[in-house]
Structure 1
Amino acid sequence: MHVVTILGFDQAYASAITGALDLFALAGVTWQRMQGQAPQQIFKVQLASIGNKPIECINHVTIQSQLAIENVDHTDILIVPTIGGKPEEVLSNNRNLLPFIQHFYDTGADIASNCSGAFFLAESGILDNKQATTHWGYAELFEQRYPCVALNSNQLITQDGSIYCSGGGMAWFDLTLLLIERYCGHDVASNTAKAHVMDLSRGSQAAYAQLRSKKYHQDQEVLLLQEWLENHYSQAITLAQLAKRVSMTPRTLLRRFKAATEQTPFAYLQSIRVEAAKKILETQSVSLEAMTNAVGYEDLSSFTRLFKSVTGLSPSQYRKKFIR
């Protein structure tokens, strides 16, 4: 059997641990039972912690570890679950896990992190100059701490060599199904997904992300423009009008706005309009044309292209997925 080791630590997500344990352990089992076939367990799954200590997960759930990570001689896959507390504090309290992540990477294991568990991989150094993802809400912090990592927070799952990262807190099932497919083939992964009523592939977390305003800078004129754009996004807006509002030339405004926010004024405006459109699609039954006009666009086709480039879904697909 293939050996899967889940690395436990205090303030981890309990569901990211137990969910992966169940899904790996039941690959080749649940579907076969449903079909009247003999079960054949494919993965040996074990939960390891420093010193085999119980794991005090977030929300006061305690899980008993099965063995000490120090005693794991071999694993095919090492899973690092979601960090449930503040990443900086959890990393600081668990630095003794980093050599084990590096060791198993060096010895050829597949290393996989769920959601904010990618912070452990980056902290160990194995993500330097590699593709990765993490939860979209932690993207700015991750980029600040690990500038050498090629972060793509729109992706739900990334793979770079033997390193796998998944984005959302509950993306452990996407990650687990991907690894089941890698080791056992598409049919086993597909049957496992069907048995547990899961989608085999979702691809992107862009549709779940919210606008990150990037207001932590100190440029007061740019802050004024950001707030004005957030309140007047439905209007027709020109660069000259924006520059006039803060007594700058258009060229100076472009330079300062991009320096402060890492976006041009119109890229920022587009982000606001997409966010406003998402809220309309989630809460109202107006036509797509009316929604497009309400956020400052006249042409539905051009806004649909913008919306899909940002969220990965068309407006109609987004509405179907998220309507309340």
Structure 2
Amino acid sequence: MNGAIKETHFQFPGQKGFYKGKVRDVYMFDKTIAVVATDRISAFDVVLPKPIPYKGQVLNQIAAKFLKATADIVPNWVTSTPDPNVTVGKKCEPFKVEMVIRGYLAGHAAREYASGKRTICGVALPEGLRENDKLPNPIITPTTKADEGHDEDISKEAILEKGIVSPEDYAILEKYTHSLFQKGTEIASEMGLILVDTKYEFGKFNGEIYLIDEIHTPDSSRYFYADGYEANQKQGKAQKQLSKEFVRQWLISNGFQGKEGQNIPDMPNSFVEEISERYIELYEKITGEKFVKADTGNLGKRIEMAVLKEIGEG
């Protein structure tokens, strides 16, 4: 097995705080954050026990590519990517909502629709849609950004009524979300893919709105292969996806869906290697570039030195 990093416990000069997400370790400084994309993998809101070699590098480099490709649409938080697993940028104050945008009736929205709902997050949907059908127009279905527990669906009206985001700022977030999704759709199309749905997060730095976190990665987005999409819909077949759905399906087949009382099945090393290979395949398909494996001989030290060098210069 190649080296993989599950968690980090660095202590940097001038460090003001630390936050451990499902996948990322975030080191906070005065006006800067250093985000380490670890090789952790989560499913059903649970972090699985074994790290996946190169997964962090895959996500970090996909996000870097797409943040750069959309910088003309909205300014983003990134100032540098000093290591394949590290991004350094502005410490923004995040909005407490995630802007989820959907071009197709898939995933959570499809399940809600199948249960009889015709309004999702305050957005009305027409009758007669089938799972994975293209929507008449992309729709924004925001969620709350919970500090603990699950994010929950919320409508634009409730966001404004509760004062979570001001009307002026929300209008900007909506505009940015639609523009980013359009750009993501165009890039995906060039790669023979369909960007089905995704989410964007935004924050403020010195009063200006910035795009934060990652974008258009297989952890934050759903892709279908364009080839065969129409035929599959006509025949009522499942769409070929480019996502980590195969990991969820393996867990389900081994009796785990994140429910109380269920135990996480032990992933054999062969399956861990398969996940790693699939993530590399995702990288190459989404970016159109060959994946170059970084040296993982002393991964923790390599990451630590990259951050030290960057914050020292900053």
TM-score relative to the length of structure 2: 0.21
Bigger fraction of residues in strand: 2
TM-score relative to the length of structure 1: 0.21
Which has the higher Rg, Structure 1 or Structure 2?
1
Bigger fraction of residues in helix: 1
